[in-house]
Amino acid sequence: MKTIKVEGLSKRYRIGKTRANSVRDTLAGFLRREISLEDRDLWVLNDISFDVADGETLGIIGHNGAGKSTLLKILSRITRPTKGKATIRGRVGSLLEVGTGFHSELTGRENIFLSGAILGMKRAEISSKFDEIVAFSEIEEFLDTPVKHYSSGMYMRLAFSVAAHLEPEILIVDEVLAVGDTSFQKKCLGKMQDISKGGRTVLFVSHNLHSVSRLCKKALWIEKGAIKNIGPTSEVVSDYLSKGLNFVPERSWDRPDEAPGGEHARLRSVRCLDDDGKIASTFDIRRPVMIELEYDVIKEGKQFSTTAHLYDPEGFCLFAANDVGPTWQHRQRPIGSYRSVVTIPGNLLAEGTFFVTVMGFGPITHETFFEAKDVVSFSVYDPIQGDSARGDFGGPMIGLVRPMLQWKTDYFE
């Protein structure tokens, strides 16, 4: 029995400068007959076909911008395909973010009902599960407090427990597990496992290959809007790890409308540089790695910092490095071009491949001004000359970081 049948699904976005977004421009463009001269078509999904059987858990992997999220949005009916068809048997529940429909002014109790209804639950269903939801979230005492006074952990717990008690026949989940602390992530993952064991069909998009491997028997790898591989998770994941990772030491955007960012700031480029300031994709383990961001502030009045997050190929985050320098900490950014560089010292990372995510964010407001996930990548190698943390050891060494730490050995006859 096929629960989901996708046939030739395609999605096109029009991108271009001439996209009129006011009545005036539309009329003017119409009169001058110069509509869409500069528009370009971008096929985010191109002729995707696959089936998901009843009770199957399918993991969807691929780089950012590969089309994973668009696929989920189409299957959740948030946006329509340009071509093709998908047939879904059963009630669909989709979780594309944690806390869908939450309103900060409302209390925990009010939000449980609101969010539940938005996610597709009936009122009677929410009432009957209410106690369970509250127990799972561990926020009993604060049930009648507006959620704006919650800590982010409490907010996440409540939001996830509403979502976890949704009982659709088909569950569509997008990386919601990527947030929250580790213990909370474990709890979520456990709940997800229960759901998939309960015989429901699950579609799960994630960056984290660990969780995909744990949760899904079958995986789908999408690259540039097309299916690269589909099959048993272990095969697809190893195929992805061997072929899918190509190092991109530099990314830049010529057209501001395609660059990551919003009304306040736009990213222009991200580069991996060595200590001579040259673009590099492989680094000697003893030398520093610099991540350089160039961006424009196009609207003033916001205070923000930049941050770089480092991930291993399986999606595990090594660290986040926020710019806490005093210059821009308490100052609104004037309009202009900026260049920010973060230096990862030598003898910190282990050998291997690393992916960098960069963001411009408000340290106080928690706003995101631009974000580019896995935007550049580089690898680190050790020439084994005896002065790295390896010493003269040539065999395999484990660990994601490899700092030079001080050992002291005393000898007692």
Partner 1 sequence: MQHENITIIEPRSNFASIGLAEIVRHRELIYFLALRDIQIRYKQTLLGVAWVLFQPLVASLLVAFVFGSFVRFDGVTVPYPVYILSGMVMWLFVFTAVTMTSNVFVGNTNLVTKVYFPRLIFPVATTLACLTDLLISLPIMLILMAYFGVAFFWQMLLTPIAIAMLFLLASVVGIVFSALNVRFRDVKFAMPFFLQIWMLASPIFYPVSFVPEKWRLLWAVNPLVGTLDLWRATLFGNSPDWQVIAVSSGSLLVLTIISIAIFRYMEDDFADIL
Of 20-28, 135-143, 154-162, 235-243: span binding partner 1 (CB under 8 A): 20-28
The answer to whether 94 contacts partner 1 (rule: CB under 8 A) is yes
Question: CA angle, corner 72, sides to 66 and 73, nearest 5?
Answer: 105
User: Is residue 272 a contact partner of residue 378, using CB atoms and an 8 Å limit?
Assistant: yes
Q: How far is the CB of 81 from partner 1 (least distance, A)?
A: 6
Contacts of the segment 101-105: beta carbons below 8 A, 24+ positions apart = 102/147, 102/155, 102/159, 103/147, 104/146, 104/147, 104/148, 105/146, 105/148
d(CA 132, CA 121): 15
Looking at 89, 224, 228, 286, which residue binds partner 1 (CB under 8 A)?
89
Smallest separation, CB 73 to partner 1 (Å): 7
Instruction: Name the one residue in this structure whose structure tokens are 């309009």.
Output: 335
74 binds partner 1 (CB under 8 A): yes
Q: Out of 17, 37, 90, 214, name the contact with partner 1 by CB under 8 A.
A: 90
Q: Which is nearer to partner 1, 109 or 286 (CB)?
A: 109
Residue type, 321: A
**Pick 42 or 279: Cβ nearer partner 1:** 42
Minimum CB separation of residue 113 from partner 1 in Å reads 6
> Is residue 377 close enough to count as binding partner 1 by CB under 8 A?
no
| Interface with partner 1: number of residues (CB under 8 A) | 48
Residue 366, interface with partner 1 (CB under 8 A)?
A: no
CA distance 51 to 53: 6
CB of 9 to partner 1, least distance (A): 8
Which one of the spans 85-93, 151-159, 227-235, 326-334 is the region binding partner 1 (CB under 8 A)? 85-93
Q: Which two tokens stand for residue 194?
A: 């229960």
Closest of 105, 109, 115, 163 to residue 134, by C-alpha: 109
Torsion of CA 65, 67, 73, 74, to 10 degrees: 150
CB of 339 to partner 1, least distance (A): 31
Output the smallest distance, CB 181 to partner 1, in A. 23
Looking at residues 109 to 128 of the shown chain, list those that interact with partner 1 (rule: CB under 8 A). Answer: 110, 113-114, 117-120, 122-123
Q: Which of 302, 317, 293, 320 is nearest to 364 (CA)?
A: 302
Q: How far apart are CA 233 and CA 236, in angstroms?
A: 5
Q: Residue 37 or residue 78: which is nearer to partner 1 going by CB?
A: 78
Binding footprint of partner 1 on the chain (CB under 8 A) = 3, 13, 21-24, 26, 54-55, 73-92, 94, 96-97, 100-101, 103, 105-106, 110, 113-114, 117-120, 122-123, 169, 199
